[in-house]
């Protein structure tokens, strides 16, 4: 059953990827501007250089040929080289993505632990003062503008207290401030949604039945309510994970953190380094799709109904 479901999901994977490639390709083609011109600043590049590069990038061929060539290269692992620095794009994407992954895992770990704990406390006593307070704190967290909050953390912990570096990526300590910044934004959402999920589950008959059997409130909450609320929470954390994988561009910029989001925006888009842009976006798309797939499979494991529904 489970295997069937996984197979079914995998068959959706390929067409989705193809659609993504097509959209990325089309959007990039619609971008005005040119990598060589950007590299040369206010100066005009020599026409031979432009022509040679165009040929090398295949920009002189018909669009459909360019697209097929591009798909072919993606699938054969030839992701090209950065126009500006000659670095192989796949290597570059993997390195930058590792940085993003570290940041994502660190921030989501903090956000999930804090978020679920708060949700649990809030759901124990709905509509109490403590529930309200948690609600307020959560809302404050996810309403915080990241670029501002990031700078404030830098000023307090880096400039004044000299505890953590203000940016860059050298050792674990440079992960602390950007992870905290992203965690601030995410724990609130996780807390709010988890609380709602727990409350919804606790109105179900089987919870009332558990209570009627005289189980302790703690046991009811953990074994019955949480177990079922986890489905929603896994889905949400998976979604947030997917979003963060695309790179938290603003946070990465504030902390001069070399994540994949900044690579796509600064090198790919601003400098029109097409191989980097294509490679970065496709890489992220692949990862997000894979994460979603894993989340759905997890979902099917946690909640047997999900597999049954697909037959």
Partner 1 sequence: MAVRREFIAAAAIILVIILVAAYLATRPEEVAPAATPTTPAQTTPTGATATPTTPVGTPTTPAVKHVEIDTLRISQRADLSSIDVQVATDAPTLSVFSHVYETLFKIEFDEQGRASFKPWLVESYKQVNETVWEFKLRAGVKFHDGSPLTARDVKASFERGPKVGGLPRILLGPVKEVQVVDDLTFRLILKYPFAPLIAHLSHPSTAIIPAKVAELFPDKPIDDIKYIIGTGPYRFVEFVKGERTVLEAFEGYWGPKPTVKRIIWYPVPDDSTRVSYLEAGRADVITHVPPHLVKSLKDKGFQIVQIPSTRVIYIGINVERIPDARVRQALNYAVDKNAIVQVVLEGAGSVATAPISPAVFGYTKLDPYPYDPERARRLIREAGWEGKELVFITPQGRYLRDREIADAIKNYLEAIGLKVRIEVMEWAAYINRVTTQKDFDLFLLGWSTVTLDADYGLYSLFRTGAPFNRMLYSNKEVDAYLDMARETANPALRQQYYALAQQLIWKDAPWIFLHYEDIIVAMKPGLVKVEIQPIERWILTYAMLEVRG
Quick one: how far is CA 278 from the chain centroid?
18
Interface ranges with partner 1 (CB under 8 A): 31-35, 37-46, 48-49, 52-53, 56, 81-87, 92, 96, 127, 132, 135-137, 139-140, 143-144, 147, 151-152, 154-156, 158-160, 162, 165-169, 253-256, 258, 262-263, 266-267, 269-272
End-to-end CA distance of the chain: 8
- Residue closer to partner 1 by CB (options 168, 304) is 168
Helices (DSSP H) in the chain: which residue ranges?
2-30, 35-39, 47-56, 63-76, 89-124, 129-143, 146-153, 173-202, 205-212, 217-219, 227-245, 249-254, 260-262, 274-302, 304-310
Strand partners, 81: 88
Rounded to whole angstroms, how far apart are CA atoms 301 and 307? Answer: 8
- We find the least distance from the C-beta atom of residue 93 to partner 1, in angstroms, to be 11
CB of 36 to partner 1, least distance (A): 9
Contact 245, 284 (CB under 8 A): yes
Whole-angstrom distance, CA of residue 264 vs CA of residue 267: 6
Q: Which is closer to partner 1, CB of 11 or CB of 143?
A: 143
Tokens (6 digits) for 310: 């697909």
Nearer of residues 46 and 304 to partner 1, judged by Cβ: 46
CA atoms of 126 and 195, how far apart (whole Å): 9
Neighbours of 274 (CB within 10 A): 22
Name the minimum Å distance from CB 162 to partner 1.
6
Q: How far is the CB of 256 from partner 1 (least distance, A)?
A: 4
In the complex, least distance from residue 184 CB atom to partner 1, rounded to whole angstroms: 10
Q: What is the CA radius of gyration of the chain?
A: 24
Cβ of residue 243: shortest distance to partner 1, in angstroms? 21
| Closer residue to partner 1 (CB): 20 or 53 | 53
Q: Which one, 28 or 297, has the nearer CB to partner 1?
A: 28
In the bound state with partner 1, the residue whose beta carbon lies nearer, of 272 and 307, is 272
Which C-beta is closer to partner 1: that of 35 or that of 238?
Answer: 35
For residue 208, the SS3 value is helix
Torsions phi, psi for 88 (to 5 deg): -60, 130
Residue 151 or 297 having the CB closest to partner 1: 151
Closest CB 276 distance from partner 1, rounded Å: 9
Q: Are 2 and 300 in contact (CB under 8 A)?
A: yes
CB neighbours of residue 18 within 10 Å: 11
Q: How far is the CB of 199 from partner 1 (least distance, A)?
A: 13
């Amino acid at each position: 059953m489970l295997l069937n479901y996984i197979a079914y999901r995998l068959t959706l994977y390929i067409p989705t990827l193809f659609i993504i490639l097509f959209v990325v390709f089309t959007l990039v083609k619609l971008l005005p501007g040119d990598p060589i011109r950007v590299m040369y600043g206010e100066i005009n590049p020599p026409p031979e250089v432009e022509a040679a590069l165009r040929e090398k990038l295949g920009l002189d061929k018909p669009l459909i040929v360019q697209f097929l060539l591009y798909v072919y290269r993606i699938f054969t692992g030839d992701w090209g080289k950065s126009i500006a620095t000659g670095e192989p794009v796949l290597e570059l994407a993997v390195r930058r993505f590792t940085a993003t992954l570290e940041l994502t895992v660190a921030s989501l770990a903090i956000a999930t632990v804090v978020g679920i704990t708060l949700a649990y406390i809030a759901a124990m006593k709905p509509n109490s003062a403590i529930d309200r307070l948690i609600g307020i704190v959560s809302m404050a967290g996810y309403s915080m503008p990241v670029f501002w909050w990031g700078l404030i953390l830098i000023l307090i912990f880096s400039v004044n207290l000299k505890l953590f570096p203000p940016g860059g990526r050298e050792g674990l300590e440079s992960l602390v401030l950007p992870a905290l910044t992203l965690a601030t934004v995410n724990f609130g959402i996780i807390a709010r949604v988890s609380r709602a999920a727990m409350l919804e589950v606790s109105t179900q008959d089987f919870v009332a039945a558990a209570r009627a059997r005289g189980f302790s409130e703690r046991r009811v909450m953990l074994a019955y309510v949480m177990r079922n609320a986890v489905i929603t929470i896994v889905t949400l954390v998976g979604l947030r994970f997917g979003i963060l994988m695309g790179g938290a561009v603003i946070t990465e910029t504030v902390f001069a953190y070399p994540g994949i989001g900044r690579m796509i925006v600064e090198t790919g888009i601003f400098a029109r380094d097409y191989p980097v842009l294509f490679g970065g976006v496709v890489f992220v798309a692949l990862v997000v799709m894979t994460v979603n797939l894993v989340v759905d499979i997890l979902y099917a494991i946690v909640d047997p109904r999900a597999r049954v529904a697909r037959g």
